[in-house]
Amino acid sequence: MSEPDRHTTSVDHRTAFIVNRDGTAERNAHESDGMPKWAPEPGELVTDTSRDRVGKAIGWDGHEVTIRPLDGGEPWHTSSYRPANAQDRLRARVVVLNRERRSRSW
């Protein structure tokens, strides 16, 4: 019986994964042969699913990704991440615009 709340996709052909309806990603069963899960490129937008935060990838060690906040602050590490979707990218743009607006002198 198929699972109606999931579908399979791939990102840049680097790996395939299952995307749940809540936006979280899981590795396909056939990838348990040691293939790494999706690896973000430096500067790529990533969503930390454990914190529900979006940032830019600045490092990846094969298990955890290091993410820099878009509005400044200290980078953090997480092993629960996925590629940023359209909603995440919109949120990221709002963060950047708000930061720019706050920094302007009136």
Note the maximum CA span of the chain. 61
35 or 86, which is more confident: 86
Q: Is the pLDDT of residue 87 over 90?
A: yes
Q: How confident is the model at residue 31 (pLDDT cuts 50, 70, 90)?
A: very low
Q: What is the pLDDT of residue 28?
A: 46
- Distance, CA of 60 to chain centre: 12
pTM over 0.95: no
23 touches 82 (CB < 8 A): yes
List, in order of start, the domains of the chain with CATH numbers. 6-103 (2.30.30)
2 or 51, which is more confident: 51
Which residue spans within the chain are E strands per DSSP? 6-11, 15-20, 25-27, 45-48, 53-60, 65-69, 76-78, 81-83
Q: In DSSP terms, which residues pair with 4 in a beta bridge?
A: none
| pLDDT (mean) for 26-54 | 74
